């Protein structure tokens, strides 16, 4: 029997009687805490502390990566197996990114262009949480999503309060919402609360939280967020849930209330700006109302600019296959900026479609890898949420919603090309991979040069 405060060498890594050392907690929970920070603060948090590089995201990632490299060198690093398909696609994306970096210009714009793809390294940094840590991680996730909803409510109901807060550093406006990503994060609160209600847990409270999250998401008026939230909620509705006797009665009440309230929610949602903007985006499907009449024009301009980009890619075989790399302003070079913005907006470097961005920067090779990574994420969501008989934690549910919903937001917005969207997305893929491998639901792939030691997983 090991003594209190000592680790039994033959026992599990995070046994209840041992306090893990700092480097162990940094390795296992560093990426999770970084994802929580970005889910709490979204766009404005990603620009802290001063609004100019280095940002807090880059600093924390550098510390975690340095600790992992040092751990490998000193043989104290542990690496949970990663899903084989995820490892192959992620390595392909990182190798292609690394190959383009020395060929481009070493400018701040070039580094900004490369960052969204380099952030994929987060996938390799995520470890499966210890069983004893799952309860506090679940609580932390709910608290963070509730805090995010609280400041979004202030932004929606009292925008003057937000605008009165002095900017930090080089113009970082605290608590200023970005409608697409913040609408998606509010949807995460709605989905998690709905999942808990359908599991029979605190049904009235969680249904109220779900309603608040959905209302805030709709109030922000982003069609991209609406599309992502709908996909996330669909995933939540289809999740497998354990039917234990204690919660079975509550689950029936929750399901009945959802079915009763659903028609009213749909009717109210149809009147929202986000719904009208999305339906107005499809020519001939819906007549846009006066207050969102610009939505149809905006999407028309984007479609035309996307068509011009595709023509530009295909004009040169090398550009089509390998891309333009990092640094060139392909929107300006292709004249697509004229179609989208009327020109003369140098600061915008994305076509508001992450797939087209990947095609532009990394060619058809990169587009194929990014598309494959999206499909791998959906597969991992299925393995954790549906194929595995183990209990799905709250953190698992949020990771599933991010993996399923975030790419849809990125199709019509600049989310996946920014740290506030890319880092939580890659964390979600890494988390789902680590959990699926720990449960034996995914074939593992171990990186060369790392020493694999058993990681306490969650198998029931």
pLDDT for res 223: 85
Residue 103 has pLDDT above 90, yes or no: no
What is the percent of the chain where pLDDT is above 70?
77
pLDDT per position as a tens digit, 289-311: 555 555 555 667 788 889 999 99
What is the residue-wise DSSP string for 141-207? HHHHHHHHHHHHHHHHH-HHHHHTSPPBTTTB-TT---HHHHHHHHHHHHHHHHHHHHTTSSHHHHH
Residues contacting 225, CB < 8 A, separation 6+: 179, 180, 181, 182, 183, 184, 186, 187, 217, 274, 409
Residue 75 has pLDDT above 90, yes or no: no
pLDDT per position as a tens digit, 371-390: 999 999 999 999 999 887 78
161 or 75, greater pLDDT: 161
DSSP 5: T
Residue 395 has pLDDT above 50, yes or no: yes
Enclosing H/E stretch for 358: helix 354-382
C-alpha 102/C-alpha 325 separation (Å) is 10
pTM reported for the whole predicted model = 0.86
pLDDT for res 259: 52
Summarize the confidence of residues 314-343 as an average pLDDT. 87
Summarize the confidence of residues 213-222 as an average pLDDT. 90
């Amino acid at each position: 029997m090991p003594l209190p405060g000592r680790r039994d060498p033959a026992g599990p890594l995070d046994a209840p009687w041992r306090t893990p050392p700092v480097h162990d907690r940094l390795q296992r929970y560093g990426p999770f805490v970084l994802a929580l920070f970005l889910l709490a603060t979204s766009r404005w948090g990603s620009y802290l502390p001063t609004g100019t590089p280095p940002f807090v995201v880059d600093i924390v990632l550098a510390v975690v990566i340095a600790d992992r490299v040092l751990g490998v060198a000193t043989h104290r690093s542990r690496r949970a197996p990663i899903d084989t398909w995820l490892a192959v696609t992620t390595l392909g994306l990182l190798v292609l990114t690394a190959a383009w970096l020395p060929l481009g210009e070493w400018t701040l714009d070039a580094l900004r262009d490369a960052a969204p793809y380099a952030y994929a390294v987060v996938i390799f940094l995520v470890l499966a949480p210890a069983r004893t840590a799952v309860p506090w991680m679940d609580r932390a996730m709910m608290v963070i999503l509730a805090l995010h909803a609280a400041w979004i409510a202030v932004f929606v109901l009292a925008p003057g309060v937000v605008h009165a807060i002095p900017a930090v550093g080089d113009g970082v406006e605290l608590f200023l919402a970005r409608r697409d990503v913040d609408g998606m994060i509010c949807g995460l609160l709605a989905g998690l609360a709905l999942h808990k209600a359908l599991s029979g847990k605190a049904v009235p409270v969680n249904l109220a939280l779900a309603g608040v999250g959905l209302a805030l998401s709709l109030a922000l008026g982003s069609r991209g967020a609406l599309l992502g939230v709908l996909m996330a909620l669909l995933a939540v509705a289809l999740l497998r849930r354990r039917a234990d006797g204690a919660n079975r009665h509550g689950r029936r009440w929750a399901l009945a209330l959802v079915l009763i309230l659903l028609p009213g929610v749909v009717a109210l949602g149809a009147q929202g700006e986000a719904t009208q903007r999305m339906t107005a985006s499809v020519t001939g499907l819906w007549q846009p109302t006066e207050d969102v009449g610009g939505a149809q024009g905006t999407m028309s301009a984007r479609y035309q600019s996307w068509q011009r980009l595709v023509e530009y890619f295909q004009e040169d075989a090398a550009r089509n296959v390998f891309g333009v790399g990092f640094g060139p302003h392909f929107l300006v070079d292709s004249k697509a900026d004229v179609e989208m913005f009327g020109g003369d907006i140098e600061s915008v470097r994305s076509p508001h479609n992450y797939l087209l961005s990947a095609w532009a920067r990394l060619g058809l090779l990169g587009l194929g890898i990014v598309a494959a990574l999206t499909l791998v994420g959906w597969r991992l969501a299925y393995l954790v949420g549906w194929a595995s008989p183990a209990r799905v934690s709250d953190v698992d549910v949020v990771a599933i919603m991010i993996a399923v919903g975030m790419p849809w937001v990125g199709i019509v917005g600049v989310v996946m090309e920014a740290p506030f969207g890319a880092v939580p997305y890659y964390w979600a893929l890494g988390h789902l991979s680590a959990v699926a491998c720990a449960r034996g639901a995914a074939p593992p792939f171990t990186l060369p040069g790392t020493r694999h030691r058993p990681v306490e997983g969650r198998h029931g």
